[in-house]
Amino acid sequence: MNMSHFKNAVFSHYSLPLLLLVTAGVLRGHQVGQAADRPNIVLIMADDMGYTDIGCYGSEIETPVLDRLAGNGLRFTQFYNTSRCCPTRASLLTGLYSHQAGIGLMTGDRGYEAYRGDLNRRCVTLAESLGLAGYQNYMSGKWHVTRHTGPEADQSNWPLQRGFDRFYGTITGAGSFFDPATLCRGNQYITPVNDPEYQPKSFYYTDAISDNAANFVSDHLKQRSDDPFFLYVAYTSAHWPMHAPQAEIEKYQGVYDKGYGPIRKKRYEKAIQQGVLDKRWAMSEGAVSWENFKHKEWDISCMEVYAAMVDRMDQGIGRIIDVLEKQGALENTLVVYLQDNGGCAEGYGRASNADKKERFDFKPFGPDDLQTKIWPPMQTRGGQWVRTGPETTPGGEDTFVAYGVGWANASNTPFRGYKHDGYEGGISTPFVVHWPAGISRNQRGGVIHDPTHLIDVMPTFVEAAEGGYPTEFAGQEIQPMEGKSLMPTFSGKTLQRDAPVGFEHHGNLALRDGRWKIVSAYRRDQPTRWELFDMEADRTEQNDLADTHPEKRREMVGKWQAWADRVGVQPWPFKNKPAK
């Protein structure tokens, strides 16, 4: 496939609800070492982005690379994450529910086995599993699945100790895009200034993730082309703070001047036309009144920067794809793109910190001085105070602002809920699959509506790699995979799930079982209340059927409880930390 054709292809069939038909068996009958027929695998995950934040799912943001990958591949319309960064990464990496991997909440140790905040040894990572099949494994980006993060920390759950051969990125999540905390190459802490392998004219973390990922691919294809590789690219875009190069920000000037409502409406209509939403599903109510919002110009700037962050990420993905194409490897590379949770309504950086500035006396960092702060109060490498609040135009390295509830609501169009929640706005993600060698030409651009989940990625990759999933690893018994391989859907078959898909985070609960879903939103000092929704008729969760279908609600609640007991869910908030 010529790259110019790939770049110029026009895909006009997004509105057709096609199922992918693939040449099943293309990878059958080959042993480890015969890499020519086993695909390379590239797994790309973005951070804190909503269902309609990329072009091929309804967005006005320019994402031509992802759009072309989708147009020449597949889009899954009902793929689920866990609604938060750490548990999503734990589930994605292990093929288990995050509780089973030890990260049911975040990376703090809460005393329960499901909430240790550290990947346990009763799971294997994608890299460990694929390594058994002869793959070389590389990672660039955000790790965020261990509580051990300092320069002298226990590194047993860092990437190189969990199956990856090369790693560039951050051990924790969030933070400055111009000077990220916990930046590492391999097991060694570095800074943007002292990294001997990567010295761009100007450092921007999204670019650094992309460039190092592209370099890993280039090096592999030059040095080990007979071996397949697995590359995990974990962006921090578009997580707060809103940081982006000025050139990208300027591209979006004027796009958001009319506020949240018109953007939501345009996205809703475009997503229906593209086939990733059903026109029967009514759009949820807007979260914030644009007319009554006091800081319109500031909020417009916030969304301009957010769009620039996504745009810049897409450009970086393009550089990775370019390397694959130029080396003739794109045809048989399985590329997957998804997001770790829905749009984020958290208020970090939305209030002014000007009154705190006089308490701090910052001095410039030396080249080896590490940025230790993830959020303010913090400084730039040059010693500038990092500003927050409505008086702060976002984008620059001395700013720290989140884009707020109104734009998070737009990101999650047409759903209700946000990051943290069990509603569709919290747990729904685009899921794009591109694999020219596996997708029949006349079916490219297909849309798959089967409910699917992070737990399905491990079995899909294991099957594509013709590998095996271990029952024991490094002397430890390994829990069985929870998910189902998506490979049957690649050949036009409906995915047959053996069990419902469960959710729990911060006391926000949900269960999806076929067309039915129950949700319970955590409310402090209030009893658990379950809502029931028919997802075929009402995926935007506007009509609670709990009172009209009490038997179905009871049945679903029983299934959720059985799931929760099996994976180790504890009631939130935790009452007592168990004795060790």
- How far is residue 240's CA from residue 403's CA, in Å, rounded to a whole number? 7
**DSSP state string for 202-222:** S--HHHHHHHHHHHHHHHHHH
The amino acid occupying position 203 is F
Contacts of 226 (CB under 8 A, 6+ apart): 33, 35
For strand 183-185 and strand 166-170, is the pairing parallel, antiparallel, or unpaired? Answer: antiparallel
CA-nearest of 305, 314, 287 to 421 is 287
Cα separation, 82 vs 427, in Å, equals 6
In the set 86, 99, 123, 144, the catalytic residue is: 144
- Among 434, 485, 425, CA closest to 457: 485
* Active-site hit among 56, 85, 123, 302: 85
Question: How many residues in total does the chain contain?
Answer: 580
Coil, strand or helix: which one is 241?
coil
Per the annotation, the verdict on 144 as an active-site residue is: yes
> Locate tokens 């409906």: which residue?
494
Q: Which residue type sits at 36?
A: A
Tell me phi and psi for residue 447, to 5 degrees. Answer: -125, 130
Distance of CA 176 to the CA centre of its chain: 18
Which two tokens mark 287?
């979260």
**Catalytic: 85?**
yes
Phi-psi region of 232 (alpha: psi -120 to 50; beta: other; left: phi over 0): beta
- Closest listed residue to residue 424, CA positions, set 547, 273, 531, 337: 531
Q: Enumerate the active-site residues.
A: 85, 144
